[in-house]
Amino acid sequence: MQVYLPLSVLMIRACHALQDKFQIEIMKTFFKTIGNLFKKPATIPFPAAPTYKPDDYRGLIVFDESLCIWCRRCETVCPPGAIVFSQNITDGKQTYHYSPYVCIYCQECVRTCPKQGCLIQSAEPGHPATKEHDVNNVWNKLFADSLESRVTYAAEKKKQQAAAKANPQS
Amino acid sequence: MNRIETSFENLKKDIAAFYKPQAHHFITMNGVDLGNDVIEYQWFFCDYAFPSDITMFVTRANVDVQVPSIKNIIVSAWLPEAELVDLLGVNIEDTQKGFVLELDSETAPLRKK
Amino acid sequence: MNNSIIQILLIVLAPVLGGLIYGVERKVKARMQRRIGPPVLQPFYDFLKLMDKRKMMVHSTHAFLGILHFISLWFALAVLIMGGDFILIIFLHLLATALIILAGFSTRSIFSHLGANRSAISILAYEPVLVIIAISAYMLTGSFDVSALYASDVPVLFKMPLAFIALLMILPIKLKKSPFDISEAHQEVVGGVELEYSGIFYEAVYTAKWLDYIFCYLLVFMFAGNNWWLGLLLVALTFIYINALDNSTARVNYKQMLRFSFWVALPMAFLNLLMTMFHLI
Amino acid sequence: MALNKFRTKSPWILHYNAGSCNGCDIEILACLAPKYDIERFGMINTGNPKQSDIMLVTGPVTKRSRERLVDIYSQMPEPKVVIACGSCGCSGGVFRGMYNCEGGIDQYIPVDVYVPGCGCRPEQIIAGVVEALAILEKKTKDMEGSVKLHNDPIEQDGQTNRREVAAVI
Amino acid sequence: MIALIESLFLIPIAVSALLLLLPKTAARFLTILATLVLSAIAIYLFTQATDRPIQFAVSPVVNKIVMIADFSLLLFVIGAGLKQKNILVWVLAILQLLVLGYLTTKMSETQSTQFYVDKLSIFMFILVNVISGVIAVYSLKYIDEEKCSWFRKKYFISMIFWFMAAMNLLAAADNLEYFYLFFELTTLASYLFIRFRKDDESKKNALTALWMNQIGGLAILAAIVYTVLTAQYGNPSFSDLIAKGNSVAIILPFAFLCIAGLVKGAQYPFNKWLIGAMVAPTPVSALLHSSTMVKIAPFIILRISPVIKGTPVATVMIGLTAFVFVAAAIGALAQDTFKKILAHSTIALLALMILMAAVGTPVAVTAALILMLFHGLSKCLLFLNAGVLEHVFHMKQTSDMSKLGEAGPFTALVVAVGFMSLLLPPFGAFVGKWFSIETIGTVASGFKIVAPLVLVCIATGGAVLSLLYFKVLGAMISRTGESDKVKFEHIHPIYESTLIFLLCALLICTLALPWLLPYYFTQVAADTTGLALIPVIQQGTNIYIGSVHLPLIPMLIAFILLPFGIIAGLFVRFKHVDRAKEYMCGEKVEYNFSSFYFSTDKATPYFVAIGILFFVSIVLVAFFM
Amino acid sequence: MSTQYNIPVGAQHISLLEPLHFKFTTENEKIIKTEANVGYVHRGIEQACCSKFKFRQVSFVVGRVCGLCSISHTTCYSQVAEKLLKLDIPKRAKYLRMLVIELDRIHSHLLCLSHVAENSGFEALFMKTMRHREFSMELLEAVCGNRIQYDFSIIGGVARDLRTDVAQSILDKFKIFRPQLDELVDIYKTNWSLSLKNKGIGVLSKEDAIRLNVVGPFARASGLGVDVRNETEELLPWKEVGFEIITDTAGDVHARNMVRLKEIYVSMKIIENIINGLPEGDLISDTKAFPEGEAVNRIEAPRGELFYYAKGNKTQVLERLKIKAPTFSNIPAMVETFTNNEYASVPAIIGSYDPCLSCTSR
């Protein structure tokens, strides 16, 4: 036993000397780490409890069809092309399409929208989709189809106008 | 911003005369396609002072003229040069293609079609 | 008779116990980092999951050596539990390590090779110390058998404290814990020798890690002599020490590790050898 | 099997950045951090495709990344699930149609879960992973079913092994 | 008995002479026959060995022959030294000539017997005849592939037998003068062997070997002179010396004999000649390393261990060899050439054997004997395999060996088992090492501070050696894929049979160790040390030899795990498992990685200096005691 | 005997966040040569900004060049566009831009530090730094509405106002954070094992820093005081809000850590000053003009000097937009700095460079 005491004193001295001389700590983090054992974890139980989310979080874009004036300005400004309007070939009625999987949540459409409240950025983040939704290819097709439908409608309309011009009486 | 017009023949000489490592740093090299196969090359330098000033060496040349490299004056210039070779499809001394573009990428994407 | 039943039970249940220790360790580690951490049974979930994976391997030799590593490690552990010859145990453990190192070398994967190289270097760092500790134990008990240590009335710890300190110094090397986790350094060699294992073959290597826990903590337990409660206390304290150390240090490189081992741990063990030899304590 | 319910408790993730802006990547890093601590669900960021179950991919897949992406994907043993993180991973996002982008990860490897957002929040990633776990479980069951249909390899067809023939020639 | 022993001397000489005359096929037949006969005689002697040593004298004519042979040998060496302008060689030889001349005038007609065959000698007979015989058979094929004239090919084989004869004589010699001649004969044989290829490097290295071994010869002569001059000793013969050594407190002659042994054993600083000997054809290396040349070192020390045991000389020697064990192991790490790695590891293990011999307790001697036998077998196996690697696969560097697993699975297996047998349980070399550690632990209190240092050295050196073996095995085992079925390579039947024989011998000896230990090794040890037989007690599944014990079950399981595990590892094929390629970060990077390399360029001068210091202190310590 | 081995790191490697490929030629583990391939993330943003996107959209696109310093990119672009449009922006907008840039710098530096810790094998410190970093993410989320892509600067000003409660919470959280930061500084500065891994590792001398035109904390750790905030005053009034330059002399990983930690203090001071002295006024000033002529602009991103060159031709679409990101300037120095270090320190060195490859190759 007579050896322990001088030994431990020596070691503690050595540690202190090191600490003073080289400005390095050897054991401080060690004991703090042990102390952490008795502290509450900083983890939030996320799926069970909600996390912090500001009220004005830039989440999904919500579209109110009743207010829309169909100016398509949002479609033009949207950088990734997450908004597209398709047009019914027969009656020319436009439909708004939006993909949260393309959207970059930049709020530019909301800022550009001339009609207050038509496009709103909700605080709700997007939800994951699965393979069945096949969001990418579906959206690519939808996008192409919508553009085509508009072209077709325009051509149709032109044809009708031309026809109307040709025989204005009918 | 100082704008110094130069030419390929004088470029190395001008930059060597201008560049003082203690006073300036080299920002980057740039190329702008002016159309009709003419490309404007720009070399940007900035000084370490307050308020700092940017100096730009400018020269214009046709696409197929070989651009002199300033790697022996400014070592770190190999990176922007390698990038320009890829993106503008120009020919710079001692610089290989393949820095960012793959074989099936669009060649010289920054050129005007 | 009672003892031998416990020994056999321990041998049979060693992987399960090791898995539990690993699970607790992950939990403790998480708590030390102020996280909640995985459930205690997490290693077993991993085990079950790995069983379901598609069987893939680089080549049969590599896969087989991994399994052999597990078996030989279990065997070395069994000898330790049964109280066999200390030196033999060290070398049987070396055999097990040799197999996994060879497995690491057997693929032409750079990180696997680096890991194997570093494992070989860690052997250089910890083996001499262990051998010296074994000889000190012999000086103390007059027998190379570990069972003599288990049966010692006075805890060995009080007889050779420096050996215990030396053991504590090399344990992180053996357990692959920071600051000496160089052989499986995730950020550098992506797991080292275990990199190329997947699915059911990785399971063998993964479980062998659990066995290593038992092996190392038994070495600590040994220092308590026949006082089991002291042994458990020592193991618990070492467990906390290892994890706190793991969580308060960065990884050193292999040269620094060798330097530490040769200039600090080995002299410590040597000093202890001198002390036991000349009966200073 | 009764053990089935444990099998989704240890999804090990592999993260690959296929040309994203780092935004989603640092959010994946944040998921590992104490606040979100995805190790609660048994997840470990292994960084090793051979031991991973879930692949988190970000970015619109640049031309230079795609081979590596497929390479790493092919090294993962089944069952495996791919999660595309962020809008650009799902569909190319703002990078759609750029000359060096391929527009979405599912153009090269099958994606099971799409997590939207630019960049996606850790909560969204966790939700995506939870979604992925169900898929993982289903895939495991499918694999179990397929084991019974396993055919012996060519060796037993009585044909000579091609490699041996090549060695002789 | 005596006739049999004499036949061991005469048959090799006769065969050696005959081989030079006979045509090729007959020579081949004769070689195999001679090997079988010699081995049979050696093993027969082993079975017939009694506790009493056989001592016999030869006719006085032989004395004259020996004298003449001594002088002519030295003259030859002087000639060689002068011709090749190597000052060290001829100066040392002239010194010896002078001393010898002085001795002939001084020495009275010897009364004693010249030969003395005890169990240790018979142990050496077995080692020499069986292993060298295998090497002789092996070289039949090997030397065929060398580029040299047919006469030199026959000359090579005949030299092997000559060497065997010299070794047999040396192992049986009692008279120191005879011993000196046989010692010099082996030196000469090794010189001729090393310069066999006759290129510049060979010649240079042969001369190095010559002058270094001359120092050993000189040391023996010094011992003789000292003995002759000191009245108490009587005749300069081992039996007399050992009998009187303990009563006469002067151990200087033994110190000289130790130096002779250490030089032959290529301990630092004389390690260069053994490394240089690698330029010779591979069977020569095998011969030098496994059974003959270097084994003289532990043999001499074992012979004189009853006297030097516990003296300061032994302590210094223990210090030296413990140091060499580490230094040579570190030196081996720096090598890449397969044969050089083997050479360095030989030096290391020799150091361990000499250490054990110097400790000199029965258990230590047992450990030394176990090490000698198993090291001989393993090294022979590895060197013969190195020859196969060189001639069949054209691989000299370990870094070239990465494709060996596919090209030659059998050869790869031999390398693997060979290296494992030097290191890991359950092989004999491991048992030897294990016994040595435990023995030093048990006798430690006799050496005070030295013992712990030695233990640290052994532990460290062992770890370094294991690192070395992993490095080499790792370089060999690395490969990308595998074929579906293992196809064994076709190597020449002579190669194959010798390798298989050695492999089997290694495995059988390992398995037979529990029986060999009580019935052979401890008896030889008792005979050598002159102490009582250490009892070997079997208790349950443990075998106790003195203070150490050999647990059988773990060893048996290790035996199954390791050799069969390695074999299975190389040949097992999992079916229904898909192959994946290696992880390369998703890149296609050219693979060129192997194990770490180490460099000892800086350390070597220090090692040599420390070695010289130790050598000087052996003499000084002996002189002042 | 071949003594040189190639070790690849990347494209996928656990110590890398981004696809980036280094090929190290090593002797044992000592690096003697490095080759880098940094072109993995090239997406073609420059070309798209000059063809596909209108100049107002570009400000959202350049934000996606890099997720870590997106605010610097958008601000720098907005400024260069404002120069082309000859537009002056309100002072409040300038202050808010600085606020978000500095908040972003805090989060980026903390991320970098945690990455260094993780790559040094100090997992607990990584967790600790990431735990303390969360507050900056929450603040950014509260100020900008998103955790990483802020889209805060738009041409003419900023997109959102700073709510008073958010401003107050920034100050409150800083009060909590400051002692935490002190603790972090203590660990990074004095932890023994970390100093083994960081001190004297990856040293870039001041001469090399000047020769290789290094920018950012990388240069400042070597003693080269290059900081755009220190050099310009024209667009963002840095000196006014209390900016001071931080330099160190050692040039190793440890010095870089220290520079980053000290810069966090400076950033906190700046933010507090901004919040306390936030001028009232408009957020945005608008114009109907189209970009014309050419302009350059520099800004200090968390990693160093960010440089934009833009050329307009009086249409909706720019004629040329050149982005020079800070890492782009640093890569030549990075490749050289690895030499003579152990492979074991490579991850820590990479972490300390804080590379942003998506900026570099765009």
State residue D96 phi and psi, 5-degree precision: -55, 130
- Chains sharing 3 or more CB pairs under 8 A with chain F: A, B, C, D, E
The least confident of E144-158, E328-342, E532-546, F42-56 is E532-546
Mean predicted lDDT score pLDDT of chain E: 80
d(C-alpha D157, C-alpha E580), whole Å: 23
The least confident of A71-75, E151-155, E560-564, F191-195 is E560-564
Q: Give how far C64 is from chain E: nearest CA, Å.
A: 6
For residue D5, is it within any domain? no
d(C-alpha A165, C-alpha D52), whole Å: 68
For residue D1, is it within any domain? no
d(C-alpha D81, C-alpha D113), whole Å: 8
C5 close to A (CB below 8 A): no
Please check the confidence at residue E529 and state whether its pLDDT lies above 80. Answer: no
Query: Total structural domains in chain C?
Result: 1
Mean predicted lDDT score pLDDT of chain F: 83
Out of C14-23, E486-495, E547-556, F280-289, the most confident range is C14-23
Return the number of other C-beta atoms located less than 10 Å from residue F6's C-beta. 16
Residue A11 structural domain: 4-36
F361 close to B (CB below 8 A): yes
For residue D3, is it within any domain? no
Q: Helix, strand or coil for residue C41?
A: coil
Beta-bridged to residue D58, according to DSSP, are D17, D85
Query: Total structural domains in chain F?
Result: 1
Is there a contact between F52 and D35 if contact means CB atoms under 8 Å apart? no
**Which residues of chain B have a CB within 8 Å of the CB of D63?**
101-102, 104-105
Is there a contact between C42 and D77 if contact means CB atoms under 8 Å apart? no
Mean predicted lDDT score pLDDT of chain A: 79
Whether E408 contacts E489, CB under 8 Å: yes
Is there a contact between C187 and F29 if contact means CB atoms under 8 Å apart? no
Please check the confidence at residue E233 and state whether its pLDDT lies above 70. Answer: no
First to last CA, chain B: 30
C247 close to F (CB below 8 A): yes
For residue D75, is it within any domain? yes
Please check the confidence at residue F1 and state whether its pLDDT lies above 50. Answer: no
Residue C235 structural domain: 56-277
Residues 67-126 of C with CB under 8 A from D: none
Going by their DSSP bridges, the two strands B54-62 and B2-5 should be labelled as: parallel
Which DSSP category does A47 fall into?
Answer: T
Out of B90-99, C116-125, E397-406, the most confident range is C116-125
pLDDT given at position F133: 86
Q: Give how far D23 is from chain E: nearest CA, Å.
A: 22
**Which residues of chain C have a CB within 8 Å of the CB of D78?**
53-54
ipTM over 0.90: no
Return the number of other C-beta atoms located less than 10 Å from residue E512's C-beta. 13
**Which residues of chain D have a CB within 8 Å of the CB of C26?**
39
Is there a contact between D26 and F111 if contact means CB atoms under 8 Å apart? yes
Tokens in use for E159? 């030299």
> What is the DSSP code string of E95-121?
HHHHHHHHHHHHPPPP-S-SEEE-HHH
For residue C151, is it within any domain? yes
d(C-alpha C93, C-alpha C79), whole Å: 10
**Which residues of chain F have a CB within 8 Å of the CB of A28?**
186, 190
Is there a contact between E561 and C68 if contact means CB atoms under 8 Å apart? yes
Is there a contact between B75 and F212 if contact means CB atoms under 8 Å apart? yes
Whether C153 contacts C226, CB under 8 Å: yes
CATH of the domain at D31: 3.40.50.12280
For residue D150, is it within any domain? yes
More confident residue, F12 or C23: C23
Is there a contact between F190 and A79 if contact means CB atoms under 8 Å apart? no
pLDDT given at position D156: 40
Express as a percent the part of chain D with pLDDT over 90: 0
> What is the DSSP code string of D79-117?
S-EEEEESHHHHH-GGGTT-TTB-SSGGGTS--SEEE--
Is there a contact between B26 and F213 if contact means CB atoms under 8 Å apart? yes
Query: Total structural domains in chain A?
Result: 2
Q: Give how far F186 is from chain B: nearest CA, Å.
A: 32
**Which residues of chain C have a CB within 8 Å of the CB of F193?**
178-179, 249-252
What are the tens digits of pLDDT across the range F316-335?
888 888 888 888 888 888 88
Express as a percent the part of chain F with pLDDT over 90: 0
Task: Select from C45, C191, C199 the Cβ nearest to the Cβ of D77.
Answer: C199
Query: Total structural domains in chain D?
Result: 1
Going by their DSSP bridges, the two strands D54-58 and D81-85 should be labelled as: parallel
Is there a contact between A136 and D112 if contact means CB atoms under 8 Å apart? no
Chain A residues whose C-beta is within 8 A of a chain C C-beta are 1, 3-4, 7, 29-34, 36-37, 39-43, 45
- Is A27 in the same domain as A88? no
Q: Helix, strand or coil for residue F127?
A: helix
Residue F111 structural domain: 4-361
**Which residues of chain A have a CB within 8 Å of the CB of C252?**
none
Q: Cα dist. E467→C62, C89, C266, E340, E419 in Å?
A: 20, 18, 18, 16, 11
State residue E579 phi and psi, 5-degree precision: -95, 140
For residue C3, is it within any domain? no
pLDDT band for position D149 (50/70/90)?
very low
**Which residues of chain C have a CB within 8 Å of the CB of E578?**
54-57
Out of A116-125, E303-312, F255-264, the most confident range is F255-264
Express as a percent the part of chain E with pLDDT over 70: 94
Please check the confidence at residue D154 and state whether its pLDDT lies above 50. Answer: no
What are the tens digits of pLDDT across the range E238-251?
777 777 766 666 67
pLDDT beneath 50: ranges in chain C:
none
**Which residues of chain E have a CB within 8 Å of the CB of C113?**
474, 478, 593-595
What are the tens digits of pLDDT across the range D84-96?
888 888 887 788 8
pLDDT band for position E108 (50/70/90)?
low
- Chains sharing 3 or more CB pairs under 8 A with chain A: C, D, F
HEC sequence for B43-75: EEEEECCCCCCEEEEEEEEECCCCECCCCCCCH
d(C-alpha A20, C-alpha F333), whole Å: 35
C185 close to F (CB below 8 A): yes
What are the tens digits of pLDDT across the range D65-74?
888 888 888 8
Is there a contact between F148 and D26 if contact means CB atoms under 8 Å apart? yes
- Is A72 in the same domain as A109? yes
Q: Give how far E399 is from chain F: nearest CA, Å.
A: 7
Residue D20 structural domain: 10-168
In chain E, the residue whose alpha carbon lies closest to the alpha carbon of D48 is: E583
Is there a contact between F44 and D100 if contact means CB atoms under 8 Å apart? yes
Q: Cα dist. B49→B17, B52, C28 in Å?
A: 19, 5, 53
State residue F340 phi and psi, 5-degree precision: 70, 15
CATH of the domain at F111: 1.10.645.10
What are the tens digits of pLDDT across the range D117-148?
887 888 888 888 888 888 888 777 777 665 54
CATH of the domain at A82: 3.30.70.20
Q: Cα dist. F256→F216, F223, F250 in Å?
A: 10, 10, 9
What are the tens digits of pLDDT across the range A11-69?
777 777 766 666 667 677 778 888 878 887 777 777 777 777 777 788 888 888 888 88
pLDDT given at position E96: 83
Is there a contact between E583 and D49 if contact means CB atoms under 8 Å apart? yes
What are the tens digits of pLDDT across the range E197-211?
888 888 888 888 888
pLDDT given at position F324: 85
Tokens in use for C25? 């360790």
C45 close to A (CB below 8 A): no
E589 close to F (CB below 8 A): yes
Is there a contact between C34 and A41 if contact means CB atoms under 8 Å apart? yes
Task: Select from F15, F127, F342 the Cβ nearest to the Cβ of C33.
Answer: F127
Q: What is the mean pLDDT of residues E374-383?
A: 87
- Is A60 in the same domain as A31? no
Please check the confidence at residue A161 and state whether its pLDDT lies above 60. Answer: yes
**Which residues of chain C have a CB within 8 Å of the CB of F117?**
250
Please check the confidence at residue A127 and state whether its pLDDT lies above 50. Answer: yes
Q: Which residue has the tokens 């994203």?
A: D20
Q: Give how far D155 is from chain E: nearest CA, Å.
A: 9
In chain E, the residue whose alpha carbon lies closest to the alpha carbon of D154 is: E576
